[in-house]
Amino acid sequence: MKLNATLRRSVLLTIAMTAAFVLTACGAISPPGWHSVAVEGDQVLVSSGAAVTALDGTTGTPRWSFSTSSDAGTSTVATGLATNLYSPVKIGANGDLVVTSYSQAIYGISNTGQVLWGFDGNPDRDTIVNSSATLTDTNIHFASGNFLHTLDDAGNLEWTFESDKALWGAPLVMDGTVYQPGMNHTMYALDLNGSELWQTERLVGALASTPALVDGVLISGSLSDHIYGIDPATGSIVWDTQTVGWPWATPVDGGNGMVFIGDLDGNLYAITAATGEIEWQIQLDGSIPSSPTLENDILYVATGGGFLYSIDTADGAINWTAEPEPDFDDQLLASPVLHNDLVIVATTNGDQLVYAFQKANGTLSWIFEG
């Protein structure tokens, strides 16, 4: 039987507050089954526990797996330290990947799953990493405890920026500036050498996810009922839009002056980037802790209620709703990914880990059992 919406929201809030406490206080813990997926070429990459598994995007058949319990190879970091991994991201033209772990280690792996290098974000293990890395042409940026580290593409440290409290989400790097959200209710702007350019006033809620820069406004959700529009040149607040629940995830650029973001009460918003005005708002079943995925004016939204939605960006009309299986009682906490004609989601279920649905109508195509 499904948990009701209020209970599911409470679960998400508990996760957030527990992780926030760990980030600012004591030793690392393991996240409760927050698996995720990414697409690289014709492969779907699944992060589950201490492993990344590459699947054939069309059939869901496993191709290779990288595990932190395996031999570190050329890595200088003991792979056994990393107990939970986030979605890998691509670096370089040859398909190499970077994956961060909850225990603050970060790895470069080949597109066949071989470890290339490792970097330990905090050997003392007193805080955690809570996001994937952000990549530019030559650099890797990731938040680790109170620190933002920037590495070169071979995993060597170039510079570090320190905040007075934890940095949770990955930074946004655009137009020569690094924008880093902070759990101290502050957004930072740094130059590409790590020198601070500005920081915002203390905002109402902690900033836990990567912001978006849309139509000249830096937009960030917060762990409060506020979405902020920030001047990217000065850090001054351009607008402050109140929401029903906490808008946790990164806003999605709609490409037409609109951004889309959900909250932990299950509300999905379409917002004008320049002004913060809410154009439409709909209620879905379950919390929305991850970003929607956009393609051809359609949003694909996963919820903590265990549902996947296809939604028209023009007015919020629901095209279809899919559920992994009848009476599905797990959550879809990570953003969906798209591969050809499929929408692919990861679940909190360790047995049936990944489901692929048809974009056109939500029909189930394949399942990967972890």
CB 140 within 8 A of CB 171: no
b/e map of 23-56 (b: 16 or more CB within 10 Å)?
A: bbeeebeebebbbbbbbbeebbbbbbbbbbbbbe
CB 25 within 8 A of CB 32: no
Q: What is the pLDDT of residue 336?
A: 96
b/e map of 127-141 (b: 16 or more CB within 10 Å)?
A: bbbbbbbbbeeebbb
> Could you list the mean pLDDT of each consecutive 10-residue stretch along the chain, which spans 370 residues?
47 48 35 73 87 92 83 48 67 78 81 84 63 86 90 93 91 96 97 97 94 97 96 98 96 96 98 98 96 97 96 98 90 94 90 93 93
Q: How far is CA 305 from CA 317, 328, 332, in A?
A: 19, 9, 7
Question: Which tokens sit at 288?
Answer: 């929305």
Q: What is the pLDDT of residue 298?
A: 98
Q: What is the CATH number of domain 1-162?
A: 2.40.128.630
Q: What is the pLDDT of residue 49?
A: 77
Count of beta carbons in the 10 Å neighbourhood of residue 188: 22
Helix (H) or strand (E) holding 14: helix 5-24
Task: Provide Rg for the chain, Cα atoms.
Answer: 19
CATH class for the domain made up of 293-370: mainly beta
Between vectors from CA 55 to CA 34 and to CA 334, what angle results, nearest 5°?
25
Q: How far is it, in rounded angstroms, from Cα 5 to Cα 275?
A: 31
262, 211, 30, 259: which is closest to 128 by C-alpha? 30
CB 217 within 8 A of CB 273: yes
Q: How far is CA 258 from CA 24, 294, 295, in A?
A: 34, 12, 14
Q: What is the pLDDT of residue 158?
A: 96
Q: How far is it, in rounded angstroms, from Cα 185 to Cα 291?
A: 20
164 burial level (CB within 10 Å; 0-12, 13-18, 19+)? exposed
Q: What is the pLDDT of residue 106?
A: 85
Q: What is the pLDDT of residue 126?
A: 56
Look up residue 263 and give its amino acid. D
Domain spans of the chain?
A: 1-162, 293-370
**SS3 of residue 300 by DSSP:** strand
CB 142 within 8 A of CB 170: yes
